[in-house]
Amino acid sequence: MLNAAAHSTGPTRIGLFLGSAGSNSGGPERYETELLRSIAAIDKENQYEIFCLFREGPAKIGVVQDNFRYHTLWPSFRPVSMVTSLPLKLFSERLDFVHATYIPPPITPCDYAFTLVCTSQFEHPEFYPLPIRIRLLALMGLAVRKAKLIICISRHIEDVVRERFRLPPERTAVVPLAANSSFRPIPEGECRTFVRERYGIDTPYFLFSGRWEPRKNIVRVLEAFHQFKREVQSDLKLVLTGERTWAAKDAEETIRCNKMEDEIVDLGKSPVAELPHLYAGARALIYPSLWEGFGLPILEAMGAGTPVITSNNSSMAEIGGNAALLVDPYSLDDIASAMQRIAADSKVHADLRVHGLARAKLFSWENTARQTLAAYERINPCWKGAVKPV
């Protein structure tokens, strides 16, 4: 437990500014909800004031506990609420410090920590349309300049931000993410029945999970799969789950030009509750993203016992380690060859499954929460005896 008595005026009052909870936004929302649920399970002494940009946030988090209190910001137009109701709430609650998990608060009355989930906006701004690029660079630049502590979700992010902004070691901490415990091996028959009845999929499949955007490399995934199908006699299909974005037209054109309509199953954005069966039932997860701050689908697939093909750059090599097939994400030959290995070689498939399951166990949301609480000591010297990682 946390040593609340060490705080001279009673329990520490922590503000948590959540930018994604309730938005149905995938990875960022999963980070916020899992982190808060795990903190709540560990710390029942200190007071948490939780500020949500989306009114569905409190219900999505689902924690009902005496030391957790929710505030939904108004108005619903977020740019306005962030400069009106958010600073008013932060000032009125007399907080010891704030942790912003996705978007930096423009105005705060106290020190704050900020979770940096990606550095692609600094390293590869070309991945984003100009309006999004300008907004990301402005927000993340503000956070790096103003936050007392930058919580980095991978060692890669810490290395980049330290070098780019010349930050001293005491201003950064690495706190990795984890997969939800629902991502676990599921009997093959159960998975086959689920995907057939829910989605009409009755053949083996590779799975791509991610937004249809340039950074996720979906066009090359489609082209590599087309190459794989030309070179190998296989009934494997490619199942896509993820939100379409401004870049969807390029992927659609690739499918059309290569006459792949019968080989591709587009599920749209699947409910989070259905992902464990989709992952566990796949022959492999195909995740050769061009750049990632962490790559949560890698651990989710490994936790489900599904082999992973991912990139040899940024954080993906760090998270995948020797438990994934690492490829050059710009090379169609590399990606297609990895597909062939997993499709044709049962030993490669079995070895990746075993190593992936073992690697996924190294990460847990409980440990993420404990490391986050330990990092809070750097924000507020009155916070002592924080729980340590297990």
Q: Are 283 and 304 in contact (CB under 8 A)?
A: no
Asked whether residue 162 falls in the same domain as residue 204, the answer is no
Phi, psi of 152 (to 5 degrees): -100, 135
Give the domain range for residue 284.
188-360
pLDDT score for 390: 54
Q: Kindly report the pTM of this predicted structure.
A: 0.93
CB half-sphere exposure, 146, CA atoms < 13 A: 20
CATH of the domain at 206: 3.40.50.2000
**Residue at 368 is within a domain:** yes
In a domain, 167, yes or no: yes
pLDDT score of 380:
82
User: Which tens digits make up the pLDDT trace of 74-115?
Assistant: 998 989 999 999 999 999 999 999 999 999 999 999 999 999
Q: What pLDDT score does 130 carry?
A: 92
* pLDDT for 54: 95
Same domain, yes or no: 288 and 368:
no
Q: Which amino acid is at 210?
A: G
Q: Does one domain contain both 259 and 115?
A: no
pLDDT value of residue 383: 67
101 and 240 share one domain: no
Sequence letter at residue 362: L
Is 285 part of any domain? yes
Residue 71 lies in a domain: yes
Whether residues 91 and 228 fall in one domain:
no
Give the total number of structural domains in the chain: 2
The whole-number pLDDT of residue 221 equals 98
Whole-number pLDDT of residue 210? 94
pLDDT at 9 (0 to 100): 59
Q: What is the 3-state secondary structure (H, E, C) of the chain?
A: CCCHHHCCCCCCEEEEEECCCCCCCCHHHHHHHHHHHHHHHHCCCCEEEEEECCCCHHHHHCCCCCCEEEEECCCCCHHHHCCCHHHHHHHHCCCCEEEECCCCCCCCCCCEEEEECCCHHHHCHHHCCHHHHHHHHHHHHHHHHHCCEEEECCHHHHHHHHHHHCCCHHHEEECCCCCCCCCCCCCHHHHHHHHHHHHCCCCCEEEEECCECHHHCHHHHHHHHHHHHHHCCCCCEEEEECCECCCHHHHHHHHHHCCCCCCEEECCCCCHHHHHHHHHCCCEEEECCCCCCCCHHHHHHHHCCCCEEEECCHHHHHHHHHHCEEECCCCHHHHHHHHHHHHHCHHHHHHHHHHHHHHHCCCCHHHHHHHHHHHHHHCCCCCCCCCCCC
Is residue 118 located within the same domain as residue 149? yes
Q: Kindly state the tokens that stand for 35.
A: 């982190």
Residues 21 and 72 in one domain: yes
pLDDT number for residue 7: 44
pLDDT tens per residue across span 44-81: 999 999 999 999 999 999 999 999 999 999 998 989 99
Q: What is the pLDDT of residue 376?
A: 94
Provide the pLDDT for residue 8: 47
User: Cα torsion for 82, 86, 87, 88, to the nearest 10°?
Assistant: 130
Q: Is residue 183 part of a domain?
A: no
Same domain, 76 and 101: yes
User: What is the rounded CA–CA span in Å between residue 215 and residue 291?
Assistant: 6
Q: What is the pLDDT of residues 231-273, one digit of tens each?
A: 998 999 999 999 998 879 999 999 999 999 999 999 999 999 9
How far from 41 is each of 2, 12, 171, CA to CA, in Å?
Answer: 12, 17, 27
Residues 373 and 356 in one domain: no
Report residue 22 as tokens: 């309730």
pLDDT score of 389: 52
Q: Is residue 386 part of a domain?
A: no
The answer on 94 and 114 residing in a single domain is yes
Is residue 69 a part of any domain in this protein?
yes
The answer to whether residue 261 is domain-embedded is yes
Q: Which pLDDT value is given to residue 209?
A: 97
Q: Are 167 and 161 in contact (CB under 8 A)?
A: yes
Residue 159: CB atoms within 10 A of its CB come to 16
Residues of the chain predicted below pLDDT 50? 1-8, 385
Do 95 and 142 belong together in one domain?
A: yes
Quote the tokens at residue 265: 């199953």
Q: Are residues 224 and 351 in the same domain?
A: yes
Mean per-residue pLDDT over the chain, rounded: 93
